[in-house]
Structure 1
Amino acid sequence: MSNFKHPTTLPLPGGGRLGADETERHLSLMLEGAPLIRLRLERGTELHVHLQEINDRPVGPALWAACYWLFARDPECRRLTWHLTERPGEALLSGLLTPSEYADEYICERTMFWQLPQPWLGESFNGSYPQQMIITDGKRHPRRPMKPRGEVYRRFDARLGAWVSLRTLEIEQDLTRFNRWQNSPRVASFWQEEGSLEQHREYLSNLQREPRVLTLIGCFDDQPFAYFEAYWAKEDRLAPFYDVHNYDRGIHMLVGEEQHRGPHKVASWLSALVHYLFLDDPRTQRVVAEPRADNARMIGHLHNQCFHCEKEFDFPHKRAALMILGRERFFDRCALM
């Protein structure tokens, strides 16, 4: 049985904090202490939500906040059935709600809720970049958008009681810690990128000039703990080894700070990293990884996040396991909160 404790408040990425007065049958939600929305709850095989009063115009943000609160309170809840006397136009257009077969009844599916990019991506989200096919080094692939700078993802993890966020790596800010992490014997045994500050400066500079790779720093409560590389698989050396799609994203992962190791931390940052990549471009249908085939611990963590092992194969430098997670599987089994 889960030892998850229900949140008493939920901070929001853009500022503000949700709080609530909740009973078995009623929910009054507040934003920064001010009344936001009041609901009657009808519990059964599904949760039915009856709107009694709303204190926000436009209505969409208040409905979103209530959906977020209810999904966070119950990680097993898969859908909410809303009863509304007025047609929720904004919520229908965004995909937050879909109409049911009954008048004045609307559905919020957990699998759709977590595919909405806001507020998790903030200002970094620009929608789908126009598709134009180009050829690079003999590989035909879509032209990639300019890489973002700064924070690209932020979400409060109610299980940990901490913010998990991703920002782009900045060489002058992050070089020393990257060098320390790479020279850790634990990390070096898998990455094999030990070296001097200047060697690592060159390594990171080369990646920053490489359109297919985005270098990221993972943070808990804004404290850096990990380094990630997110790459477009179509242009990567991985592409010849499987049936690669135009918008597949691949990941390389490194946890540098010892206090942030452990399965519960991996579940938080790995789901956040995958969530970000699926939100970054809705055309991305798969996230892939290729850890060393003998890295049983990492493969286990990937399995726990619903990746499956497609096969093992031989890179020039290692025997690798091809791990794949599809968009539909990720959101259908979504444990985000």
Structure 2
Amino acid sequence: MTSSTTTPLAGQPERPPKPQGEVFRRYDQTLNMWISFRTLEIGPGLKHDLALYHRWQNIPRVAAFWDEAHDITVHQAHLEQLAADPHCLQLIGCFNDEPFGFFDVYWALEDRLGPYYEVDPYDRGLHMLVGEAHHRGPHKVACWLPALMDYLWADEPSTRRLVSEPRADNAKMIGYLQQFGFEHVRDFDFPHKRAALMMCHRR
């Protein structure tokens, strides 16, 4: 679904319409697999991505960090709200076209993270969820995380920083982010969690 551009707030650049379909693809020689990202499909008659998201969010290990284990009707309403929001973009990650995870990327200025640090109008944030157990592990992260970062750098040349705010006790995710260029800036308190501010600068 393509979103129309909204009138920018003070200090907010005009955001482009959301893309539709596949936005990134490349071949990983180490895994001998294709990694790709496509936009999440949600709407009348489009139930596959909703079913994936619902199943993934109700996996105990995912629910422990995302706290989004809800009924499918709640998930549908949430995804429809995100789809209508021009400040964020929902992606499905695929290995050889098999969906394995959900990725929510957002403009930090308009996100709840913005007030917690000196945000730049083009800072891009990311939330990451790997739902399929057989696509977990550091060897897969070494493929999809740099690929996602490369997509975000290429998508907007004015983006100088990528940010993320995993839960402060999510040592595994913090470690993965650090491995691929993110700095652990500090911990801080959201209303709903203690979070780690992670930041990566464009090189």
TM-score of the superposed pair, with normalisation by structure 1: 0.57
Aligned counterparts of 2:120 and 2:196: Cα–Cα separation in 1: 18
Determine if the alignment matches structure 1 residue 146 to structure 2 residue 17.
yes
**What letter corresponds to residue 130 of structure 2 in structure 1?**
V
Which of 310, 328, 331 is the aligned partner of 2:185?
310
Aligned counterparts of 1:134 and 1:290: Cα–Cα separation in 2: 25
CA RMSD of aligned residues (A): 1.2
Q: Give the C-alpha shift of residue 298 in structure 1.
A: 0.4
Determine if the alignment matches structure 1 residue 322 to structure 2 residue 197.
yes
Name the CA shift for 1:177/1:133 in 2 (closer, same or farther; >3 Å): closer
Partner of 1:118: none
Task: Identify unmatched segments of 5+ residues in structure 2.
Answer: 1-5
Aligned counterparts of 2:98 and 2:137: Cα–Cα separation in 1: 17
Aligned counterparts of 1:212 and 1:267: Cα–Cα separation in 2: 27
Q: Describe the SS at the equivalent of 1:141.
A: coil
1:275-314 matched pairs, under 5 angstroms: 275-314=150-189
Task: Identify unmatched segments of 5+ residues in structure 1.
Answer: 1-131, 329-337
1:156-171 matched pairs, under 5 angstroms: 156-171=27-42
Partner of 2:8: 134
Partner of 2:3: none
1:212, 1:231 within 8 Å by CA — same for their partners in 2? yes
Q: Describe the SS at the equivalent of 1:154.
A: strand
Q: Give the C-alpha shift of residue 261 in structure 1.
A: 0.4
**What letter corresponds to residue 134 of structure 1 in structure 2?**
P
1:86-105 deviations in Å (ceiling 9; x for gaps): xxxxxxxxxxxxxxxxxxxx
Q: Give the C-alpha shift of residue 326 in structure 1.
A: 0.7
Partner of 1:256: 131
Aligned counterparts of 2:29 and 2:118: Cα–Cα separation in 1: 37
Aligned counterparts of 2:172 and 2:201: Cα–Cα separation in 1: 21
Determine if the alignment matches structure 1 residue 212 to structure 2 residue 87.
yes
Aligned counterparts of 1:238 and 1:167: Cα–Cα separation in 2: 25
1:188-209 deviations in Å (ceiling 9; x for gaps): 0000111111111101000000
**What letter corresponds to residue 303 of structure 1 in structure 2?**
Q
1:133, 1:141 within 8 Å by CA — same for their partners in 2? no
1:17-72 deviations in Å (ceiling 9; x for gaps): xxxxxxxxxxxxxxxxxxxxxxxxxxxxxxxxxxxxxxxxxxxxxxxxxxxxxxxx
Q: Describe the SS at the equivalent of 1:134.
A: coil
Q: Describe the SS at the equivalent of 2:52.
A: helix
Determine if the alignment matches structure 1 residue 184 to structure 2 residue 59.
yes
Aligned counterparts of 1:302 and 1:322: Cα–Cα separation in 2: 11
Partner of 1:155: 26
Partner of 1:237: 112
Largest Rg, 1 or 2: 1
1:133, 1:142 within 8 Å by CA — same for their partners in 2? no
Determine if the alignment matches structure 1 residue 269 to structure 2 residue 117.
no
Aligned counterparts of 1:323 and 1:312: Cα–Cα separation in 2: 9
Determine if the alignment matches structure 1 residue 247 to structure 2 residue 119.
no
Q: Describe the SS at the equivalent of 1:284.
A: coil
Q: Give the C-alpha shift of residue 133 in structure 1.
A: 8.2
TM-score of the superposed pair, with normalisation by structure 2: 0.93
Determine if the alignment matches structure 1 residue 200 to structure 2 residue 200.
no
1:133, 1:140 within 8 Å by CA — same for their partners in 2? no
Q: Give the C-alpha shift of residue 134 in structure 1.
A: 2.4
**What letter corresponds to residue 257 of structure 1 in structure 2?**
E
Shift >3 Å, 4+ stretches: none
Q: Describe the SS at the equivalent of 1:160.
A: coil
* Higher normalized contact order (CA 8 Å, seq sep 6+, divided by chain length): 2
Over the matched positions of the two proteins, sequence identity in percent amounts to 56
